[in-house]
Amino acid sequence: MVFLIFVYSIVILFSIYSVGDVFNKKMNLNFSGFELIIGYLVIFSIFHILSLTPVLLNLNYKFLYYIFYLISLLIIFCIIRTPKTIKINYFLIIITAIFIGFYSLFDFILPGDSSFYLSLIRTVTNTTNLYTFEPWTGNMGNIGFMYYFVTYEVFIGMLAKIFSMDSTIFSVNVMAIVNLVIIFFTAYNFFFKIVKNKFLTNKIFLLYLFIFIFLNSNSHNVLFTHNAFNIMTNIYAGKTIYLNAFVVFVMYLINRIVVEKKQIDIIMLGILNLVTPGLSASALFLQLIITTVVFIYLFVYEHLDNMRFYGRFILITFIPLILNYQLIIFAPDFYLKEIFFRISIEILFLLIMLIGLFLYYFGNKIVNINQLIIKKFFYLNLIFIGIISSVIGIMILIEKTTGIKNAITLLPNLKESIYLFGYNLLLFLILCVLAFKSVYKMFPLYRFLFYTYILLIFLLFLNPYNFAIVVTFITSYNTYHRILYLIPLHFMITLYLGYCKNKFALLIWLFLILIPFVSIFTGIDALNDNINPYYKVKKDIVEVGKKLDRQYTIMAEIDFINELPMVTNNYQFIFTASNIRQYYYNTYNNQEILDFFLLVNEKKEMDVIYFHSLVNKYNVDLIIVYQFSLVNTYLQELYSINYELSTDKVTVYNCG
């Protein structure tokens, strides 16, 4: 199995590289070094665009084979055209291999999120029609309007099917390696484009890894701009490759747009706006934020000679975003169905396109003559939006305290954060200030990215003044923190320390970073004899999951609710992995089902009559618990043991 995982990873990476190399050269993209991310973008773009209709209509998955035939022909063509002599960066390959080797010693798959992603990926391999399975509950039905344009899980599921490998094993091993390699290579070449010296880039990349590992957190929502939560828990997921590779590439791209203003780069940004939401729903609003910041900078602060630039930028970059938003607005289960809302949004979209057309024909004359007026208008609008946002914020405080409470409960425990990450966060902020003050002066060509872009992000989106309007209309409470991924402060800290002329001062900084002995591996368990090394799931749960031969209605201990969906789709949970998270955040509302869960998990004193009534009421087929659980004392009196489904350490009870 290890050999197959290695071979499949190499085959996929070489295919991606070949496509990226050919497209980079034939299209004169001038993105040398970014072949992997370009190849990934090309292949996924073809799949996403062609598979979107079958996904939206929940068609038979066999339609996707024809798309992969086309992609295979493209890959074969590109491999043939790839030069026989490829420049190999042995330093980068060795460093990446060492990290992957060390990384693979840990159980880095997080139950909960993975219960959704891995279950959804598996449906491509064992259901007839696409996206007709709701991963949390196991019921047949719709998975939500935010997934109407996300095709990444279908893409990975089809790859697993083509390679004839279990979808979970393929995802958490093969795609984990592929994504890590692309993330590392993208970060390395981002530095190389700035530094332009291979030896110095090697040194800076090692420093970057040091900062990433030791001045960071694997805890959700701890406010580092390079938070390692996704890499350490969902490395195979679409959001991880987007936030840690595509966003880095976009940073380089938008700086080049501002400096060189080439149409091919604007088209590239438009393609990214169209396609990256297929990787993760968050990519839609993050790309909107990036594109808006770039346009405002160019429109308000730049004096351009190209007569059609502003209009062309709007039409090429905003229309793809509008198309993706249409899929949400007109989704059957979208929560805002009022005709007035839809008409208002459509008028807004039409207005954006009309402004684009107007600027395309008359823009530069008007902008260049009235630049001072435009700046004043921009600032006045910013103040107006801030006032509106403040009013919305007050209304939310009055009417939507539950939403705010939910958002606050998503934050990590305050004491834990201060104890584990408070020192590191303080050190990180100090280094951010020092880097922000100096790095843009070291690299004048990157002044926009390392100075103006950051200021505009904070001015427009990442501040208390505009918080209410941003979380209401652009992001959400639960995803607002992802804006931090758009800010290149961690790269700037690396460059600041990498160009530190005082070696003693550099050693002091490195020592200060190491002092807490906290890293991205803190709190993550190493693989052990109880965990299946290929599934990253407990062996007993894998064994039970493989035995489930049809969909059973199940109530179980917490481990089984979290991890069975990673192994099988033959379940229908009364209480889901998503509900477990709500229980931890004190936001789950169905007290009766919560009681049922707590009784099985020994968190509530057993009431046999009440318990039996809940089993009958919710038509439970199976109850799954560990043999050492005290609840077995009661279950053995009420129900019979299913010996075929049980294992040495797990007892499965028939209730139906």
Write out the DSSP string of 181-230: HHHHHHHHHHHHHHH--HHHHHHHHHHHHHHHHHS---STT---TT--HH
CA 582 remoteness from chain centre? 21
Q: What is the DSSP letter of 627?
A: T
State mean pLDDT over 148-170.
88
pTM: 0.91
Q: Which residue has the tokens 């489904």?
A: 645
Q: How does residue 402 score in pLDDT terms, banded at 50, 70 and 90? A: low
Contact assessment for residue 645 and residue 654, using Cβ atoms and an 8 Å cutoff: no
- Average the pLDDT over 97-125 and give the result: 83
Q: What is the predicted pLDDT for the residue at 249?
A: 97
d(CA 319, CA 453): 22
DSSP assigned state of 242: I
d(CA 218, CA 196): 31
Q: What is the pLDDT of residue 414?
A: 55
**Is residue 84 over pLDDT 80?**
no
% of the chain beyond a pLDDT of 90: 31
Q: Is the pLDDT of residue 357 over 90?
A: no
First to last CA, the chain: 38
Distance CA 547, CA 568 (A): 9
By the 8 A CB rule, do 63 and 40 touch?
Answer: no
Rounded CA separation 405/478 (Å) = 11
pLDDT 10s digits, 177-225: 999 999 999 999 999 999 999 999 999 999 999 999 998 888 776 778 8
pLDDT given for residue 371 in this prediction: 65
Q: What is the mean pLDDT of residues 117-133?
A: 76
- Say what the pLDDT of residue 130 is: 67
Task: For residues 623 and 636, give the distance between their C-alpha atoms in angstroms, rounded to a whole number.
Answer: 11
From residue 307, give the alpha-carbon distance in Å to each of 302, 362, 365, 437, 531.
13, 7, 7, 35, 62
Predicted pLDDT at 392: 66
Q: Is the pLDDT of residue 12 over 80?
A: yes
Interior angle at CA 248, CA 244 and CA 251, nearest 5: 150
In the chain, DSSP finds a helix count (H) and a strand count (E) of 31, 7
Q: Which of 121-130, 318-327, 568-577 shows the lowest mean pLDDT across its residues?
A: 121-130
Report the C-alpha gap between 288 and 408 in whole angstroms: 25
